[in-house]
Structures are given as structure tokens and as C-alpha cells.
Structure 1
Amino acid sequence: MESAITVTPAQLPSLLLHLAVVRPVFLWGPPGIGKSSLVRDFAAALGLPCVTLLGTQLAPEDLIGVPEIRDGRSRFAPPEVIARTEPYCLFLDELNAATPEVQKAFYSLILDRRIGGYELPEGSIVLGAGNRSSDNALARPMASALVNRLVHVHLRASSTDWLVWAAHNGVHPWIFDYLTDRPDQLWSKPPKTEEPFSTPRSWHMLSDALHSYGPDVDEETLTVLTHGTLSTRHATGFAAYVKTVRHRYGLDAIVRGDAPWPRAANDRDLLFFFTEAFRARLIKDLPASREHASPSVRSFAARAKVMLVELAEISLEYAQIVVAADDDGMPVLPGWFLIEVSRDLPRLVAARA
């Protein structure tokens, strides 16, 4: 299930504060954006213990219990982890990955807050979460009866929210600074093959690994760590960024003209990183209309055209990356700048010749 109407992690708590106390809520979202952590944090904020049941690890009897004889009659005894006397948060994680039989066993618990003769204590809340089938995650269709028993909320990754969280949770400074400059790389769509991809969770895993190795992690090990946690493109970019940090050599120096584009064959990753950073800088700093460009921005635009010529001399492919359209074929750089580039490039090339 996907929706065009989404919320960020920072928006979720206030939404749950009104929804979850009156109806069970199901959180949809891609893997690795923190659905489970958000539920546990919300429960903790309410002062409720959080009991997590994983849909992929349950059988129907794990919910409804097994029959026992009491006073000559049989009754189902729900498991101890559920049958509590004090209010709590029941978190049904990976609910839509459970088998149809397990999903059916949840019906009365979700709608009536009851299993057999056991009823959830007053003040308890029920939350579920699951990945989307479009993200190549394990997800089974949910029966319409179950869908209709839940309020559905769709989460999206937010670099702004994550960076606020990262600043207070010890995320490695290399990662914090890199994603501050490249927030578009916090999350990438899961690939169709079994390979790492970038999510808030994978960046956090990389942060833990970097803390473990310390500042002297060698380049080969860094390559192993990044390519083992992130998408290939993001891993290459981050490794190149670390190289710039260590050598104090950044895009600003190239823009000022204090340093050239890297040309060495073993600095190809660095050149690619600067190429993408240059494109991101243009997208961020150039206004949609030239009339709204300040003198300093116009000066930067003029310098950017010279930089494009210099980059094309090293790699025409990388220069094309800077001005390329997005995946839908739409321009990402302002039209006025692209017109000036096509108009002035021949003159700038001739001048350098």
C-alpha cells in the first residue's frame, strides 16, 4: 500500500497522541526509516511498556493461546506476554508479513481489544507497522476486513528530522556533516536485487562502525564499510568526502580557484564526489529567475561556467552529470543558467585554448 499523503517522523507523535488512544493505527513505510523505534519512543513518552509481537514469527496459537480446562469447561488462555493487568502498548510489527491465519487471529484483538475472555486493560493502545510490497520487502496482502479495522498512516524519510535526531544521539561527525550537505542521500529506494541500500538505519550502522574503528580507519576498510551499508553511489560519494576531510581539500577551494579539479586516476572517486557536490550547490544556490540573483550569485554562476569547461576537459561524462535532467527528464537547473551555458561555453572553450 502506498499513499501520496505522508508524514515525517517528527509529525508522527502528535498524530498518534490523538489517534492511537481511540483507534488502532498501522504505520506504513519503507524499510529502515525507523518505524519500530518511533513506536517504542512514543510508548515510552506515554509511560507505557511496549510489547512487540513480530508477525513473521507467530503462529495463530501464539495469540489466541491454547485451550485449558477450568471448572469443567474449556477456555483459551492467551500467552503471558499479552495477558497483562496494567495498560501497555501492543506493537504488532511486520503485521502485513504474517500469514493469513495469523492476520485473522489479530482481528478481535485489533477491533475489540479482546482475545477470547481476555480484554486489554483500559488505557492500552494497539499499533502496527509494516513495509510496502513495492519496496521489495516481505509483505502479504491484508484482507479488507483487517485493513478496515485500522487507521493507516504513511511515513516518509525526512533528512531534517533525522539530522536533528543525529545531533543528539552521537552520530559520527563525518556522517552528520556529509548528510547536512547531501540530505538527498539519506534514503534510496530499495533495489530489486539483494544489495545494500541507503536508509537512516544503514547510515546509523555505518556511524557505529566508524566509531568502533576510530579516526584512523584506513581507506580500504572504509571502502568495505561504506559498500556494506550504503548504496554503491552513496558509498562512493561518502568515501570521497572522507578523503577531502582528511586532506582538507573541498569544493569551496575549487570554486575559489585555489585548487583544481582532481585529475589523477586514483582520484576518480573524488572527482565524482565533487561533480555531484557541484551539481547540488548549483541546484541549491541558483534562483529560478536571473532577476532574483544577487551580484554574488551571478559571480558564482560565471565561475560555474568556467568550472564546467575545466571539468569537461577531464571528463565530458562528469560535466554532463552536472547539467543533466532528473529521472523524469525535467531540468533541475534554472533555465536561464542552462541557456547561458549553451551560449557561453564555446567562447570559454576557445579562450582556454
Structure 2
Amino acid sequence: MQAALTVTPAQLPDVLLHVAVVRPVFLWGAPGIGKSSLVQAFAESLGLDCVTLLGTQLAPEDLIGVPQIVDGRSRFAPPENIARDEPYCLFLDELNASAPEVQKAFYSLILDRRIGTYELPEGSVVIGAGNRATDNALARPMASALVNRMVHVHLRASADDWLKWAADHGIHPWIVGYLTQRPDHLWSAAPKVEEPFSTPRGWHMLSDALHSYGQGIDDDMLGVLAHGTLTAAHASAFRAYVKTVRHAYDLDAVLKGDAGWPREPENRDLLYFLAETFRARLIRGLPGSKEHAPPDGRQLAYRAKTLLVELAEISLECAQLVIATGDDGAPVLPSWFLVEVSRDLPRLAAARS
């Protein structure tokens, strides 16, 4: 199921507070962006226990129970973890990954809030969650009858929300610092092959591993951990970022003229990282219109042209990376700046030679 509109993790609790208390909600989202933890936090905020059922690990009898004889008649006895006397949050995780017969077993529970003769206590909430087929995750089509029984909410990863959360949950400062500079690296689409990819969950796992190793972790092991939890490109960039932290070598120093671009062959990964960070800084800092550019925007543009010449002398590929178009082929830097670059760079290069 594709989303026309999405919500961020910060917006989700308010949506659930108003919707999940009156109707079942199905939460769609990519793997690793925090669906499960957000539902558990929501239940906790209401003072409710959160009972999680994994659709991929269920059989129909795990929901409807098994028959027993009562007063000479058979009736189904629902499982103990579902048949509770106090209200609770029933979280049906990976619901759309469950087998069709299991999905059917959910019908009465989702629509009528009952299993056989057992009814969910007043005040209980039912929330389902699952990945999309486009995420290369296990997902089976849901019958229209089941789809129509829930309010569907699509969750997207938000770097701002995650960084605020990270500040209160002990995420490693290297990771917070890196994602503050490169918020676009918090999440990447799942690849079509079996390899790690970047998600909030992956960054959290990397943080735990870094805390376990401590500050003395060497560069090789840092690379092993980063490549084991992140997209390869993000892992290489993060490894280079840590090198800048350890050697007090960052883009601000280059912009101020306190340091130059690294020229050593062994620091080529650092050069690529700084070039990518430089590109991101220009995207954020250059105004769309030169006529309305504030003084700091004009100063950044002036300094950027000189730095591009210096960068091209070391690596033309890195310089091209800074001004390259986006994935859709459209320019990402303001057109006025690109025009000035094409006009002024030959003159600047000649002046330096």
C-alpha cells in the first residue's frame, strides 16, 4: 500500500490518541523506523499493558484458542495473554505478513473486538503494523474486508524527531554528530539484495556496539561495525566522519581557511566525506535567489568557488560530486550559483596557476 500522506514519529502519538481509542489502526512503514517502539510507548503513555502478537509466528488457534467442553457443549477458550480482565493495547505486529487463514482469524477481533464469547475490556485499543511490499520485506496482500476494518496511517522516518529522541536515550555522540550533519543518511530504502541498509534501528544498534567498545575502538573495527549495520556508502562516510572528530578536522575548519582539503592518498575516504558534507552545506546555505541573498549566503558562495578549485586540483571527481545533479537529474544547487561556477572557475583556476 502506497502513501499519499504520511506522519512523523512526533505526530503519531496524537493520531493514535484520537483514532486508536475509537477504531483499530494499521500502521504502515519501512523496516527499522520504530513502529513497534512507538506503539509500545503510546500504550505506556495511556497506562496500558502492550500485548504484542507477531503475525508471522501465529497459527489461527493461537488467536481463537482451542475448544473445550463446558456444560456438555464445546466452546473456544482464547489464549491467556489475550483474554484479560483489564483494558490493554493489543499490538498485531507484522499483521500483513501473516498467513491468509491467520488474517481471517483477526477479523472478529479487529471489527467486533471479540474472540468467540470473549470481548476486549472497555478501554482497550487494537493497533496493527506491517511493512510495505515495496520494502522488499515479507508482506502478503490483505483481503479488502480486513483492509476496510482499520484506519490506515503511514509513518515516515524523521531525522529531526529521531535526533531529539537520541539526545534523551544515550545514543553515541559520534552518531548524533554525524546525523546532525547528514540527516538524509538516517534511512535508506531496502536493497533488493541481502545486505545491511540504514535505518533508525541500524543506527541504534551501531550506537550500542560503539558504547560497548568504548573510545578506544580502532578504525578497522569501526569499519566492520558500520558496514554491518548501515548502507555501504553511509558506513564509509560515517567512518570518515569519526576520523575528522578524532583529528579535529572538519568542514568548518576548511571553510574558515584554518585547514585545507586532505591530500594524502590514505585520507581519500575523508576527502569524499568532506566533499559530500560541503555539498550538503551548500544545499542548505545558498539562497534560491542571488538578489535576496543575505550577506552570509553571498560569503558562502564566494568561498565555495575558491574551495571548488582547490578540491578539483586534488580530485576532479570530488569537485564534480559537489555540484552534481540529484537522482532525478535536476540541479540541487541554485541555478545562479551554478552559472557563476561555470563562469568564474576557469578564471580562478588560471589565477592559482
TM-score bracket for this pair, using the shorter chain length: over 0.9
Q: Give the aligned partner of residue 336 of structure 2.
A: 336
Number of aligned pairs? 353
Q: Give the aligned partner of residue 347 of structure 1.
A: 347
Q: Give the aligned partner of residue 167 of structure 1.
A: 167
Q: How far off is 1:95 after superposition?
A: 0.1
What secondary structure is seen at the aligned counterpart in 1 of 2:249? coil
Q: Give the aligned partner of residue 263 of structure 1.
A: 263
Name the CA distance, whole Å, in 1 between partners of 2:281 and 2:74: 70
Name the CA distance, whole Å, in 1 between partners of 2:185 and 2:280: 11
Name the CA distance, whole Å, in 2 between partners of 1:104 and 1:294: 61
What secondary structure is seen at the aligned counterpart in 1 of 2:52? strand
Q: Give the aligned partner of residue 242 of structure 2.
A: 242
Name the CA distance, whole Å, in 2 between partners of 1:252 and 1:48: 48
Name the CA distance, whole Å, in 1 between partners of 2:8 and 2:300: 34
Paired amino acid for 2:188? S
Paired amino acid for 1:21? V
Name the CA distance, whole Å, in 2 between partners of 1:36 and 1:328: 33
Q: Give the aligned partner of residue 39 of structure 1.
A: 39
Q: Give the aligned partner of residue 82 of structure 1.
A: 82
Name the CA distance, whole Å, in 2 between partners of 1:288 and 1:297: 10
Name the CA distance, whole Å, in 1 between partners of 2:170 and 2:176: 9
Deviation track 1:133-173 (CA, whole Å, cap 9, x = no partner) reads 10100000000000000000000000111011001000111
Q: Give the aligned partner of residue 138 of structure 1.
A: 138
Cα RMSD of the aligned pairs, angstroms, is: 0.8
Task: Please show how residues 272-291 of structure 1 align to structure 2 within 5 Å.
Answer: 272-291=272-291
What secondary structure is seen at the aligned counterpart in 2 of 1:202? helix
Name the CA distance, whole Å, in 2 between partners of 1:299 and 1:287: 11
What secondary structure is seen at the aligned counterpart in 2 of 1:2? coil
What secondary structure is seen at the aligned counterpart in 1 of 2:193? coil
What secondary structure is seen at the aligned counterpart in 2 of 1:291? coil
Q: Give the aligned partner of residue 180 of structure 1.
A: 180
Q: How far off is 1:61 after superposition?
A: 0.6
Q: Give the aligned partner of residue 125 of structure 2.
A: 125
Name the CA distance, whole Å, in 2 between partners of 1:297 and 1:141: 50
Name the CA distance, whole Å, in 1 between partners of 2:183 and 2:152: 27
Q: How far off is 1:332 after superposition?
A: 0.6
Name the CA distance, whole Å, in 1 between partners of 2:175 and 2:186: 10
Q: How far off is 1:222 after superposition?
A: 0.3
Name the CA distance, whole Å, in 2 between partners of 1:317 and 1:126: 53
Q: How far off is 1:258 after superposition?
A: 2.1
Name the CA distance, whole Å, in 1 between partners of 2:299 and 2:104: 65
**Is 1:155 paired with 2:158?**
no
Q: What's the TM-score once normalised by structure 2's chain length?
A: 0.99
Name the CA distance, whole Å, in 2 between partners of 1:326 and 1:296: 25
What secondary structure is seen at the aligned counterpart in 2 of 1:290? coil
What secondary structure is seen at the aligned counterpart in 2 of 1:348? helix
Q: How far off is 1:294 after superposition?
A: 2.3
What secondary structure is seen at the aligned counterpart in 1 of 2:171? coil
Q: Give the aligned partner of residue 309 of structure 1.
A: 309
Q: How far off is 1:256 after superposition?
A: 1.7
Paired amino acid for 2:28? W
Paired amino acid for 1:26? F
Name the CA distance, whole Å, in 2 between partners of 1:199 and 1:45: 25
Q: Give the aligned partner of residue 114 of structure 2.
A: 114
Deviation track 1:287-336 (CA, whole Å, cap 9, x = no partner) reads 00011222332222111111111111111111111001111111110011
Name the CA distance, whole Å, in 1 between partners of 2:241 and 2:132: 32
Q: How far off is 1:182 after superposition?
A: 1.0
Give structure 2 stretches of 5+ with no counterpart. none
Name the CA distance, whole Å, in 1 between partners of 2:135 and 2:193: 11
Paired amino acid for 1:269? D
What secondary structure is seen at the aligned counterpart in 2 of 1:152? strand
What secondary structure is seen at the aligned counterpart in 2 of 1:26? strand
Name the CA distance, whole Å, in 2 between partners of 1:164 and 1:345: 40
Deviation track 1:31-72 (CA, whole Å, cap 9, x = no partner) reads 000000000000000000000000000000110111111111
Structure 1 runs of 4+ aligned residues shifted over 6 Å read none
Paired amino acid for 2:192? K
Name the CA distance, whole Å, in 1 between partners of 2:11 and 2:18: 12
Paired amino acid for 1:345? L
**Is 1:296 paired with 2:303?**
no
What secondary structure is seen at the aligned counterpart in 1 of 2:106? helix
Task: Please show how residues 197-212 of structure 1 align to structure 2 within 5 Å.
Answer: 197-212=197-212
**Is 1:233 paired with 2:233?**
yes
Name the CA distance, whole Å, in 2 between partners of 1:251 and 1:119: 60
Paired amino acid for 1:253? A
- More displaced stretch, 299-308 vs 125-134: 299-308
Q: What's the TM-score once normalised by structure 1's chain length?
A: 0.99
Deviation track 1:99-150 (CA, whole Å, cap 9, x = no partner) reads 0000000000000001111111111110000001101000000000000000
What secondary structure is seen at the aligned counterpart in 1 of 2:287? coil
Q: How far off is 1:253 after superposition?
A: 1.5
- More displaced stretch, 43-52 vs 253-262: 253-262
